[in-house]
Chains A and B, each alone.
Chain A
């Protein structure tokens, strides 16, 4: 009996292998290419220059319209993107046609159309169900792909790797490590997802519905509608006491609106302590979830993932126990709307140098320089600013801070200052580098001399420098510290 059962298992396994082989045959190396990306991130300690070039390898997938799909992370800070087809030694240069860092997706096009002749666009699958098996493909060598079996373990809303956007993501259970570098995920010959990262034995991947949303959009800066924001903060409404306080005790669903962002889609319609009952006609639980037909309990943010910036959205709320319906046009989400920008790729870090004092915008990328534990070990007041002073209040508000001082006679006595947040210059509050430039253009007169008064927050105190001879000092500093752009300085070097 045992022997017969074992034989049966062996037999079934053999059939399974055959099916897998057929599936593999449906994903020829003619649909996937290797990407070689030369990256040149900005040097955040010397923001007028890039760091040295480093090379990374990713994968790209042929899609319709002569385009290749990959992740935004793959092409972030790219100075050169080249593709190589499997089985070929030839490398062809690609243009980054469009990137959406919010969803971590990008499309590339060949500089020479001949580069993609013979490549076959993939077919798209539908969203997977929990437990379904898939194959993740990665480059085995220059000739073929290697197939890594995986299964969909969990679906949840997570912050995208390259942004602050809350995006639905697959958690694929795998045995292998070293995945998450824009590998395509296939099932039965159809593209199901693109990987974006790995945590131990889970690979994160962007599902097909998000990829479709991205690819169906118009890929020009002006026409791209992107993924929307609802512009509110939520807090669970589980406590019966709290529900009674908000006069929401009569219904057993609905989440509390804890914050309404100024300038957001519903900023003039919703209030703190409204109870959100429905989004687009879909019931929302007290924790903010809705019931997805395939995935079960999913956060309502996924309902936004399915819409475009500019779409109309109807919300049903309770206010003081009274049901209301509000409707607004959704705005496109932008991770960098907050004072501490989430990301900045592909460009030099904006900065201003005055008297050797280097001022920059505080960004998450800057704080990440403190390594994996940056949230614990980065400077305390900068971390605090990120976590507790990062609400959208003044349009375009940025946190401007003194990164370091390029020591020179002009700033004698201040050489040790660093990482202090700027509050005001010459009596003007500073909320952007533009504010700083403008303020520096209006010196404080003291007697017959012009001075700049730079006031920092908390224990930072005030720096006072004169304007006389500053152009010459800037020329000296530019020479000493290899600051090549005169625009870095206010005023420009003489």
Chain B
């Protein structure tokens, strides 16, 4: 099964001084320092933005006036500059494409001559285990390019921390990839084999790079001028079940030969209706799936999801499955998932929210949970932590687009008695189920009886307010607290969580 709750990986954004002089003269001109002023949204007062902050990372020239870097280097950026090695003059740049799920972005300097005389870097393949790699970048705040040598120690399918919930193929290297290295090329010889992007803080000298198949997928995805994002398989599987002789016999298969057993299929996923709980996945696109849920992929054993994850929207995935003793082929059309809750960070202009009658309602997200600090997974209210992990398995929340949280009360005479259910999850307004913040807005401001009655998940105590009093007081109340705007109802595409539209 895919584990949840990793909290000790960090992106590699903040820079300090240089450590190691670069020697790869041919490549150094194509690697840039990226400096960013960012202006992140506030999730405790969602109509506000946080104070500006500065950070830096690395990027490299891939041709067509584009610099490839990490999404987390330029997320929420209000101003970006790029700087060539040895050049004292930073050049402003803009984001052309950003893929938060894959932690990659393409930026473009505003100066059309910026790349004059530079050669784009070319891509290689997935580096072999125990092969040496060199990470090039501007770690720990330095002005000079540095190169760090390392050895490839693992190829696996794991979580990308910038997104919070998405997992993709990644390569682990046993070298110190430091803050500021983010977005820098990792090379073997003259070829890029990955992009440095995160490290493991609980182990020394453990860094992670985005490998070429994930990079190529991103670049292909945006060829039509729009980033669609990685597909979600929505499958929960029970690895190793098929090693059990009785289990294998029940499914009409020889023990240990292979296959992983499906425990749950999310109703919002493209696999829903094609694959069902209890199926044994035997292969994907003719790659046999082992009892450990892994397939052979470019010489390594990785999670079978890797194959599905690297597909573009509109492609198909072919699964060989065993169902009720019969082996059959199932074709899944790879397409975007239906709207659903994803336990991810939000990089939109704002998180989705609405303020009405002084009650602040926010859409649950990993960013919202971070209000409780680094230990949010322990300190945040139990219900929110639970739904963040298990929403898709609960009948009450499985079809929701947003999990709507009563996040705050802005005290006013109209809500003096609406003190219950803080951090509660809204289930109904006036008896109507609430599936999103937009839905909530419709119900709160729509026609109804004399009273607005708001019900909450697991609570026997609704909030009841006079509809007329709230309506009469709302504008003045928002003015009193400087609530502008009083809502942000942007859909998943607009919120930058998966993708943003390119403007080339």
Query: Which residues on A are within 8 Å of B, measured CB to CB?
Result: 233, 235-236, 238-242, 244-245, 256, 258-259, 272, 373, 375-377, 380-381, 383-384, 387-388, 410-414, 416, 446, 449, 451, 457-466
Contact = CB atoms under 8 A, between A and B. Distances in A.
Nearest to B264: A459
B240 A241 contact: no
6 closest A-B pairs by beta carbon, nearest first, are: A461-B263, A258-B460, A239-B417, A466-B246, A235-B461, A413-B243
Contact of B383 (A258, A388, A414): A388
A464 B277 CA distance: 13
Given A388-B458, A461-B264, A466-B249, A241 B466 contact: yes
Contact of B247 (A233, A259, A464): A464
B343 to A, nearest CB: 12
B246 A451 contact: yes
B243 A412 contact: yes
A414 to B, nearest CB: 7
A465 B382 CA distance: 34
Nearest to B244: A413
B246 A462 contact: no
Given A458-B393, A461-B241, A241 B417 contact: yes
Contacts of B462: 242
Given A239-B417, A414-B240, 16 more contacts: A235-B420, A235-B461, A241-B469, A242-B464, A256-B461, A380-B382, A388-B386, A413-B244, A413-B247, A416-B240, A459-B1, A461-B236, A462-B263, A464-B246, A464-B250, A464-B251
A241 B458 contact: no
B488 to A, nearest CB: 28
A493 B265 CA distance: 37
Contacts of B291: 413
B8 interface: no
Interface of A, helix, strand, loop or mixed by DSSP = mixed
Contacts of B237: 461
A412 B241 CA distance: 8
Interface string B387-404: 001100100000000000
Given A235-B420, A462-B261, A387 B382 contact: yes
A300 to B, nearest CB: 17
A457 B393 contact: yes
B328 to A, nearest CB: 18
Interface size class of B (residues with CB under 8 A): 35 or more
5 contacts: A380-B386, A387-B382, A414-B241, A458-B393, A462-B277
Interface of B: 1, 236-238, 240-247, 249-251, 261-264, 277-278, 291, 378-379, 382-383, 385-386, 389-390, 393, 417-418, 420, 450-451, 453, 457-458, 460-462, 464-466, 469
A245 B465 CA distance: 9
B393 A245 contact: no
A380 B241 CA distance: 24
Contacts of B246: 410, 451, 464-466
Given A241-B466, A463-B247, A384 B1 contact: no
Main secondary structure of the interface of B (DSSP, over half): mixed
B431 to A, nearest CB: 13
A387 B390 contact: no
A245 B241 contact: no
A459 B236 contact: yes
Contacts of A457: 393
Given A380-B389, A451-B250, A239 B461 contact: no
Nearest to A388: B458
A245 B389 CA distance: 37
A285 B95 CA distance: 61
B265 to A, nearest CB: 11
Contacts of B262: 461
A451 B278 CA distance: 15
A259 B460 CA distance: 7
B460 A381 contact: no
Contacts of A458: 264, 390, 393
Nearest to A453: B250
Contacts of B240: 413-414, 416
B382 A412 contact: no
A186 to B, nearest CB: 42
Nearest to B324: A446
A245 B453 contact: yes
Nearest to A389: B458
Given A381-B390, A459-B263, A239 B238 contact: no
A259 B461 CA distance: 9
B237 to A, nearest CB: 8
Nearest to A451: B250
Contacts of B417: 238-242
Contacts of A449: 249
A461 B238 contact: yes
A404 B453 CA distance: 44
Contacts of B1: 459, 461
Contacts of B277: 461-462
A272 B455 CA distance: 14
B386 A381 contact: yes
Contacts of A463: 241, 247
Contact of B378 (A244, A258, A376, A414): A376
A94 B236 CA distance: 56
